[in-house]
Amino acid sequence: MHREEGAPPIVDALDLDTPALFVDLDVLERNIARMQQQCRAWGVELRPHVKTHKIPEIAQMQLDAGAIGITVAKVGEAEVLPGEDVLVAYPLLKEKVPRVCATVNLHDEIWYGRRGRVEGSWKVAARGKVR
């Protein structure tokens, strides 16, 4: 919900139960746009890490602004966050592979890696099976 410049806040932060997320939507949208614009100026693609918010709607706003995908820390985050292209930024335990295979059907591709390099990926094949 947007408000007019100089208008009073929609809600008083002191009236919120805590913990609560209190976001100035105008600032959030401006920051997402500025980051995407800066990445374009640098000639790099943006894949934001969602650890700072873990909110599907904000991740979708980042994707809508031009991010090529999202980065997550855990398979559970990939299971609930949007995007066709997801990077799990930490090594996967063998026990997590079945969950990743199930999750890849929600996304076109799941990448995994560590120490700044991609180690592998799962893609959805034409028949909807993981390869």
Q: Which domains does the chain have, with CATH numbers?
A: 23-123 (3.20.20.10)
Top-ranked range on mean pLDDT: pick from 3-12, 22-31, 56-65, 82-91: 56-65
Is residue 14 pLDDT above 80, yes or no?
Answer: yes
Residues 50-100 have pLDDT tens digits of 988 899 999 999 999 999 988 888 888 888 888 777 887 777 777 877 777
E strand spans, 6-105: 70-72, 85-88
Whole-number average pLDDT of the chain: 78
Q: Please state whether beta strands 85-88 and 70-72 pair in parallel, antiparallel, or not at all (unpaired).
A: parallel
Residues 25 and 57: their CA atoms lie apart, in Å, by 12
45 and 39 in contact (C-beta within 8 Å)? yes
Residues 9 and 116: their CA atoms lie apart, in Å, by 41
Report pTM: 0.71
